[in-house]
A and B are shown apart, each in its own frame.
Chain A
Amino acid sequence: MRPLDAVGWSKPLLVLLALLPLALLVLAALHNALGPDPVSQLEKHTGIWALRLLLLTLAITPLRRFTGWNWLIRYRRMLGLFTFFYASVHLTVYLVIDLGGFWSQIFVEIAKKPYITVGFAAWLLLIPLAATSTRGMMRRLGRRWGQLHKLVYAIGVLAILHFVWQVKFGQTIAVREPVVYAAILAALLLARWRPRRRAAAISVRPAPARSPAPAPPP
């Protein structure tokens, strides 16, 4: 089966591609090309890549439904794991490089700063998803695997909150960026409901004379 082979072959490429943003960031940091406050740049970019990968992961299912490209599902676990990877790098940069030497402050930050609270919660919720991403765990959990992995929707919302909440007062331009990501997330979540509605729409549409019955919903 050719598509299977192609997917299997392309996975290592996807790994390299997914690691590229981090590699570029590290290079930029080593060349002191991240501006006056390099730590904040590392935090920003690792966080944004975690969010982008999360949205890509969430895009697989609607894309499959609309295009019929079922082989896309085989990339989903890797994208999800890279989401966890970038989120973990993001947290590590914050803990080790940014807060460096002031470890105990993390508890104050988590407790007192809402955007840190939701960001940390999003990372915590990613852990069980990453831990149950293996085939064995999928088999063992059965139906409950799907229920557990619905957590990803909550994670998406928390990640967006984490982003929006730290835009400083009055930054009318800077707020556009998280709003764009929020819109993409909303679209991806909405797309999950559409097939049923479309199916309903199709069934009420008057059938052409020649076809005996409307096609069953996909």
Chain B
Amino acid sequence: MPTRRPPDLPERDVTPEAIFQDRRRLVRLLALSPLALAACSPKGEAGAPTPAAPPPAPGTALSFTPNPAFHTQGPLTSWQDVTHYNNYYEFGTSKSDPALNSGAFKPRPWSVTVGGECEAPGIFALEDLIKGIPLEQRIYRHRCVEAWSMVIPWVGFPLAALLKRFKPTSRAKYVAFTTVDRPGQMPGLSYPVLDWPYREGLRIDEAMHPLALLAVGVYGRELPNQNGAPLRLVVPWKYGFKSTKAIVQIAFSETQPVTSWNQAAPDRYGFYANVNPDVGTVPWSQHTERRIAGSGFSLFGNRIATRLFNGYADQVAGLYAGMDLRRDY
């Protein structure tokens, strides 16, 4: 399938996080200066940088090439928010839990088991698995089913580039992904919230679509544990829960695999889970979303309209031609 460049993507490179933050802080200071004076705020005066500035991201820096074909315009979500506000139930059900509870998780050494309908199955060390695949940076919109969204600079490679190495057979109609299951390092696993381990899946044509990404990094560095280290899926036109984290197993199958959220609450979470403003899920309607971007004073104007396929309709709508998206949600 040819990749067309989405209409809202300029060629410019990403604004460095620090510069972006500075701009936000400046605007905030200007807007709040009367209040700041009244409140005798010790911070922010005399140009002293406030701790709101992003800390240097931990983790090893990765070498990658920005891919201008996948570049979302507009403010990025800050590194702090991307890494401290997310759902990863293996570390707890609150959105602050993953960052708090993932310290003991060991993302190395790592191996991935590949099986099912393919000619080259096996157990692969992560280093061997991704050897020779060039890393690129893509800035994607991320839409959670809870009706909040982010803009995130991932570092990774097309999922198709990896899957092709295993030579899926003609019977491989679906591909399933399983998250690691380590109760000792993942305290959330003690709660039977879902039928662990976490399993997700895609139809093979979805998985082979150029937008489907396997990420190993964010903000130019290796993934933090709480974001799915060391290897996670990013499927930007679907709700976030489709993007399996800490992948240890990839399996090709002829039949649709059982997926965790669909299994837990089939009326709420479909197998496809494509972002769709017209198909609501209890308890959230999906018409709009709250965009978490930047880390400045951001109380107002965060709500934006949700777009079909999270704004990637030009690229992916063809995958669902002839399907009733209300039924196959």
Q: Could you tell me which residues of chain B, from 270 to 308, have a CB within 8 Å of some CB in chain A? A: 280, 282-285, 287-288, 290, 292, 295-303, 305
Q: Give the residues from 37 to 51 in chain A that come closer than 8 angstroms, CB to CB, to chain B.
A: 37-40, 42
Main DSSP-derived SS at the A contact region: loop
Q: How far is the CB of B22 from chain A (nearest CB, A)?
A: 15
Q: Of the candidates B89, B299, B301, which one forms a contact with A38 in the assembled complex, judged by CB atoms under 8 Å apart?
A: B299
A102-158: which have CB < 8 Å to B? 102, 105, 108-109, 112-115
Distance in Å: Cβ of A115 to nearest Cβ of chain B: 6
Contact A30 B39 (CB under 8 A): yes
Minimum CB distance partner of A96 in chain B: B300
Contact with A along B55-75 (1 / 0, CB 8 A): 000000000000000000000
| A98 neighbours in B (Cβ, 8 Å) | 290, 303
**Contacting pair B285 A108 (CB below 8 A):** yes
Residue B264 at the A interface, CB < 8 A? yes
Instruction: Say whether A168 contacts B93, CB under 8 Å.
Output: yes
Q: Which of A4-12, A58-66, A169-177 contacts B (4 or more CB under 8 A)?
A: A169-177
Expressed in whole angstroms, the Cα–Cα distance for A170 and B85 within the complex equals 18
Question: In the complex, what distance in Å separates the CA atom of A42 from the CA atom of B300?
Answer: 12
B contact face: mostly helix, strand, loop, or mixed: loop
Residues of B within 8 A of A38 (CB): 298-299
A27 nearest CB neighbor, chain B only: B39
Task: Determine which of B96, B283, B303 lies in contact with A99 in the assembled complex, contact meaning CB atoms within 8 Å.
Answer: B303
Task: Tell me if B85 and A35 are in contact (CB < 8 A).
Answer: yes
A37 to B149, CA, bound (A): 10
Partner of A165, one of B43, B148, B283, B292: B283
Considering the complex, give the chain A residue whose CB is closest to the CB of B94. A174
> How big is chain A's contact interface, by range?
20 to 34
A22 at the interface (CB under 8 A from B): no
Chain A residues positioned under 8 Å from B194 (CB to CB): 170
Chain A residue contacts of B209, Cβ below 8 A: none
Chain A 73-105: CB-based contact to B (< 8 A → 1; otherwise 0): 000000000000000000000000111111001
Does A32 lie at the interface of the complex (its beta carbon under 8 Å from any beta carbon of B)?
A: yes
B261 nearest CB neighbor, chain A only: A169
A166 touches B287 (CB 8 A): no
Check if B191 is an interface residue, CB within 8 A of chain A.
yes
Bound Cα distance A102, B301 (Å): 10
B221 within 8 A of A: no
Residue in B closest to A169 when the chains form the complex, CB atoms: B265
Residue in A100, A169, A173 whose Cβ sees the most chain B Cβ within 10 Å: A169
A97 vs B298: C-alpha distance when bound (angstroms): 10
Kindly provide the distance from the CB of B44 to the nearest chain A CB, expressed in whole angstroms. Answer: 9
Contact at B292–A36, with CB atoms within 8 Å?
Answer: yes
Residue ID in chain A nearest B85 by CB atoms:
A36
Task: Please measure, in the bound complex, the distance between the C-alpha atom of A165 and the C-alpha atom of B299, giving whole angstroms.
Answer: 25
Indicate if A29 sits at the interface (CB-CB under 8 A): yes
Q: Is the Cβ of B35 less than 8 Å from the Cβ of A172?
A: no
In the bound complex, residues from chain B placing their C-beta under 8 Å from that of A29 are: 299
* Residue of chain B at shortest CB distance from A175: B93
Known: A29-B299, A36-B292, A37-B148. A169 touches B287 (CB 8 A): no
Asked if B313 is at the interface (CB within 8 A of a chain A CB), the reply is no
**Chain A residues engaging chain B, CB cutoff 8 angstroms:** 27, 29-32, 35-40, 42, 97-102, 105, 108-109, 112-115, 165-166, 168-174
Can you list 10 contacts pairing A with B, beta carbon distance less than 8 Å? A36-B95, A37-B290, A102-B303, A102-B305, A105-B285, A112-B285, A165-B283, A171-B94, A173-B92, A173-B94
